[in-house]
Structure 1
């Protein structure tokens, strides 16, 4: 969604809402839970949430909120686990005593003391890991957008198979109401249910009406749907997917898609850097 990012809250203005969100969530939360709560606290409209960050799968709000978490972590207020859960280091943080400008200054001064390049962008000073994360995200998202529709459907098929689905078939054809494929999800080897899926190479946000159209195509064919996109979902689309009384539809956005591809090593190579150190003391004992 090509709109001006000037209406998006700055990363430092989201420091306090992020802390407040985690306090409301009981001291910890996933990236998605924090995002949802911050959006609620700031009462951000869909037209702001739909603004994308460049050509990536992230929205501008998600991008800036990621920097907020990074700064709060470097300031010593947050920590995160390898499972993507963020938590407060202290449950007694007083929001009234936190100064956003002081947090920014302290983090940047700390990074400068670590000999960070002086000409690095302000928000990127010393955060090499975050930049590397963004780099491969952008590259993978660009690759996904360049795929032919049929290739993207086959990728979704492979993704579901690697995730434990069986009898996954791509059925996308004209007049099928947007249904691209079908598969059977197995749970613990005992339970199974049929799932219809739709996959959309999209840079914008999927709307509630598109979710309703998909559900209409599912009617009478299955009780479960899966919508995969390289883009994002509007707030109304998220609500529509889990509306009471309607068949549920699980949603996978661009961010979740690239992370899942990374976890499954599908089109993503993870290189571990080997560190070799000579133990001089060992040789003295020969």
Structure 2
């Protein structure tokens, strides 16, 4: 593949590898798994995969999300389950190259422009004019993440303790801030009636990335105090931080970044209310746009 191009339609180049990824992973995957797969298989350099946008989100992942949105509109992906990207029956058998991907984009732009002219409607298809815009499905997630980032430090630690409890942890306690020793709280994870783990967690409101050194410092705090660690952040982790968390021969650490954090809140129904939204099926109306 040629060197990625900057600009409004940068996301178009990720449509083909996105479909390839889902086929390779059995037809479905979580969003971050898709971005990681593409970055790994195409051997993308850090200057592409590590750049952030104004909101603090990862720019590359944002572009992959836009590629996914257009594939959904094209009927190649199934969007019936939130948090899971899945191939539709059409997507399984459809192969697209760079030209086909660009055609998908241009067709949607023309449809959007046509709707705006005919109805001056705000329901026309959104077109990402810059890398700072979020696809429709991601906008609410970003709103929730902004709320979490706006909490005071101790409030964020408390709500992370609540999150762990809602996801099955027992005896969750948040440490006193002046005596936390690098650990924000503890919980007991019962694996069976006979086996349980003492888990320590750290909760940090980061806008940007969490470095390897931060993960290493947390592990040092765990020694002799817990059998496993959980590092929760509103930001994201560098590749080196991820490597440090899974290093052999030391206390294992689970990393929960901003995207995963939002999903966990939604799964547990904490701080969110279900809402039914009807999205216009533009593909349905395409069949009625032909003049006799």
* 1:260 CA drift (Å): 1.8
Match runs of 1:9-28 below 5 Å: 10-28=10-28
Task: State the 1:61 CA deviation.
Answer: 1.5
- 1:104 maps to 105
Q: Deviations over 1:91-130 (max 9, x none)?
A: 4444458622111123334455666549875238xxxx94
Question: Which residue is equivalent to 1:50?
Answer: 50
Distance 1:135 1:273, change over 3 A: closer
> What are structure 1's unaligned runs of at least 5 residues?
275-286
Q: TM-score, normalised by structure 2?
A: 0.78
Q: 1:168 aligns with which of 162, 165, 172?
A: 172
Give the direction of change, closer, same or farther, for the CA distance of 1:270–1:193 in structure 2 (3 Å limit). same
Deviation of the 1:230 alpha carbon: 0.5
Distance 1:193 1:176, change over 3 A: same
Q: Larger relative CO (CA 8 A, sep 6+): 1 or 2?
A: 1
1:195 and 2:196 aligned: no
Evaluate the alpha carbon distance shift between residue 110 and residue 157 of structure 1 in structure 2; reply closer, same or farther with a 3 A threshold. Answer: same
Task: Provide the aligned length of Structure 1 versus Structure 2.
Answer: 264
Describe the shift of the 1:248–1:173 C-alpha distance in structure 2 as closer, same or farther (beyond 3 A): same
How far 1:160 moved relative to its partner? 1.0
Answer yes or no: is the 8 Å Cα contact 1:11–1:68 preserved in 2: yes
Counterpart residue number, 1:206: 210
Q: TM-score, normalised by structure 1?
A: 0.79
CA RMSD of aligned residues (A): 3.1
Distance in 2 between residues matched to 1:18 and 1:273, nearest whole Å = 26
Structure 2 spans left out of the alignment, 5+ residues: 279-292
**2-structure distance, mates of 1:130, 1:95:** 21
Secondary structure of 1:122's partner?
coil
